[in-house]
Amino acid sequence: QIIANIMPDAIPDPDHNNNQCQNHPTMHAPIDWDGDTVPDPEDNCYEDDNPGQEDADSDGDGNVCDDDDDDDTVPDTTDQCTPELTDDALSPAELALLQEDLDFVDDDDGCPDTDMGVTVKKDDPIEIDVSETVPFPVEVTVQNGNVAADAMVILLLKSVPDECEAYWVCEDGDDCVNDVIAGEIYSQLELVVSDIAADDSAVVTRDYELHCYEKCDHQVFLEVGVAPLPPV
């Protein structure tokens, strides 16, 4: 502690032993400022309680005080994928899976990116009798890229009312919408394919039902899309 007597110049203090210049201060500083049982010289976040000293990117700043836990240059405040890691000392390979960006396209979300593609097997051409409703299968293979991810698959059928009408057969968990837009029937089915490993593929099959009202050549258009789901 430091003891100092401060008086106006017009009223000097006769006890010079209490003047500031006569003091011999002793400073007492805690050796564990944040109280996490880790001494400050060894604490990678000496102002924040982190007894485990977790440091995911091994940069010397503990996760609780590191503003970029996965070291991908995207601050935790805007990182949509790994804003607050709890892991410790991840390997370079493990850390790379959390960082932006493996495809070298920086979209500033802090998430790893992966390419996905689809291939489709379907009956083409098809023959159907008038006034019968017949199901036809569509097999979709989703090919994943370099990061394990879930995939959203979107299937769209377009047909003409009162000619040959095509509608998806929804299964549990699917999201289906049917509508007429600009004189065409739009039948859309969305489904999620979970846990596709890196560089792996998954196959899903869905049926659509076709009903034709007149005997002649008709066209039904099929469009297929796929996209990885967050946090990828």
- The structure's pTM equals 0.58
Domain ranges of the chain: 1-110, 117-228
176-187 per-position pLDDT tens digit: 999 999 999 999
Top CATH class of 117-228 equals mainly beta
Q: Are 200 and 134 in contact (CB under 8 A)?
A: no
pLDDT for 104 beyond 50: no
Q: Which residue did the predictor score with more confidence, 30 or 2?
A: 30
Cα–Cα distance measured from residue 76 to residue 86, given in angstroms and rounded to the nearest whole number: 13
Do 1-110 and 117-228 show the same overall fold? no
CATH topology of domain 1-110: TSP type-3 repeat (4.10.1080)
Question: Percent of the chain, pLDDT > 90?
Answer: 42
Which range, 79-83, 92-96, 141-145, 216-220, has the best average confidence (pLDDT)?
Answer: 141-145
Give which of 147, 140, 133 is closest to 118, Cα–Cα: 140
Instruction: List strands edge to edge, sheet with 133-143.
Output: 117-122, 133-143, 201-212, 164-168
Cα–Cα distance measured from residue 96 to residue 112, given in angstroms and rounded to the nearest whole number: 8
39-49 per-position pLDDT tens digit: 888 999 988 99
163-176 per-position pLDDT tens digit: 999 999 999 999 99
Residue with tokens 């390997």: 91
Question: Percent of the chain, pLDDT > 70?
Answer: 74
